[in-house]
């Protein structure tokens, strides 16, 4: 379905971004990976997922808190594959502390990586998408783009912000072939959340499995983690012709979290 298209997925060396990159590669899209840590493992996984469909894979190590790196990555994507057709703004970090104890430098980093980076990628990718009259911008927000939790001021502010950016981008391009939508996961068991499971286990003196149940029980009625694979399939849907007129939505995949 996506042969000949190019997808840039930020923060795709791990977790949700990797799941989305694999799902898009399976549909034949060429992928530009981005993120820190091991690159060879994720690259091999995405190549394997896209092999039957003939997807190619490239990587750029832009630090999403640095606008100059982001510009360089967009230029690199154009050099590798000609254009970015699908932009998945996914890179994100978390820090848990009350407002009065929140380290200002962590606030700045979360706003830069979880929100401002998406402004830069979007403004840089849009001209190419509009010239081709086809594009998909998918912002990985969170259920925290819709509702709040204590101790997550920067994250909740950034995620509410990215839902707003999603709506504005969708409206400004509503008469074109470029759509912009957000995905709002509840708990997904990635390294970002495992840290919170570990903290809960340590604080309550309970096992890892018990801590997962406590975490789910506080917020997620289904008592199930959403998986990167499920989120990948939602991204594929947003890229499909059936989603041509889905514009500016913030789509929960949260086990009923925000329905309460």
Neighbours of 214 (CB within 10 A): 15
Decide if residue 36 touches ligand NAD (CB under 6 A). Answer: yes
Q: What residues contact 70, with CB distance under 8 A and at least 6 apart?
A: 62, 64, 117, 120, 121, 124
Look-up of token digits 């840039």: 8
Pick the catalytic residue from 155, 187, 225, 257: 155
Kindly tell me which residue out of 16, 86, 138, 197 binds ligand NAD, with binding defined by CB under 6 A: 16
Q: How far is the CB of 176 from ligand NAD (least distance, A)?
A: 26
Kindly tell me which residue out of 6, 7, 15, 249 binds ligand NAD, with binding defined by CB under 6 A: 15
The span from the CA of 129 to the CA of 172, in Å, is 13
Mark out the alpha helices in 82-183 (DSSP H runs): 104-111, 117-132, 153-172
Distances (CA, A) of 239 to 8, 16, 159, 191, 232: 13, 17, 22, 27, 11
Decide if residue 13 touches ligand NAD (CB under 6 A). Answer: yes
The span from the CA of 74 to the CA of 62, in Å, is 10
**Which of these segments, 163-171, 183-191, 201-209, 212-220, binds ligand NAD (CB under 6 A)?**
183-191
Kindly tell me which residue out of 81, 107, 187, 257 binds ligand NAD, with binding defined by CB under 6 A: 187
Residue 155 is a catalytic residue = yes
SS3 251: strand
Residues in the chain: 260
Kindly tell me which residue out of 25, 110, 140, 197 binds ligand NAD, with binding defined by CB under 6 A: 140
When the beta carbons of 4 and 41 are compared against ligand NAD, the nearer one is 41
- Both tokens of 76, joined, read 């690199």
Q: How far is the CB of 123 from ligand NAD (least distance, A)?
A: 18
Decide if residue 216 touches ligand NAD (CB under 6 A). Answer: no
First to last CA, the chain: 36
Kindly tell me which residue out of 104, 191, 205, 241 binds ligand NAD, with binding defined by CB under 6 A: 191
Decide if residue 139 touches ligand NAD (CB under 6 A). Answer: no
For the window 76-115, what string marks contact with ligand NAD as x by the rule CB under 6 A?
--------------xxxx-------------------xx-
Burial class (CB in 10 A: 0-12, 13-18, 19+), 51: exposed
Decide if residue 232 touches ligand NAD (CB under 6 A). Answer: no
**Chain contacts with ligand NAD (rule: CB under 6 A):** 11-17, 34-37, 63-65, 90-93, 113-114, 140, 142, 185, 187-188, 190-193
Catalytic residue positions? 155
């Amino acid at each position: 379905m996506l042969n000949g298209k190019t997808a840039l997925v930020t923060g795709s060396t791990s977790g949700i971004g990797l799941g989305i990159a694999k799902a898009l590669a399976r549909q034949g899209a060429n992928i530009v990976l981005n993120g820190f840590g091991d690159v060879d493992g994720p690259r091999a996984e995405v190549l394997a997922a896209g092999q039957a469909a003939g997807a190619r894979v490239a990587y750029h190590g832009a630090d999403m808190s640095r606008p100059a790196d982001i510009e360089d990555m967009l230029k690199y994507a154009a050099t590798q594959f000609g254009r970015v057709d699908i932009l998945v703004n996914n890179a994100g970090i978390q820090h848990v502390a009350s407002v009065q104890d929140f380290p200002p430098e962590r606030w700045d980093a979360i706003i830069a990586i979880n929100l401002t980076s998406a402004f830069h990628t979007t403004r840089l990718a849009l001209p190419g998408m509009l010239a081709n009259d086809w594009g998909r911008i998918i912002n990985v927000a969170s259920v925290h783009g819709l509702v709040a939790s204590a101790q997550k001021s920067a994250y909740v502010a950034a995620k509410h912000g990215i839902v707003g950016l999603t709506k504005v981008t969708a409206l400004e391009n509503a008469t074109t072939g470029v759509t912009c939508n957000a995905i709002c996961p509840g708990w997904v068991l990635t390294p970002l959340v495992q840290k919170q499971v570990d903290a809960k286990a340590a604080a309550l003196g309970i096992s890892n499995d018990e801590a997962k149940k406590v975490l789910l029980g506080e917020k997620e009625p289904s008592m199930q983690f959403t998986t990167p694979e499920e989120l990948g399939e939602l991204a594929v849907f947003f890229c499909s012709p059936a989603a041509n007129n889905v514009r500016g939505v913030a789509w929960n995949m949260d086990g009923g979290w925000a329905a309460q």
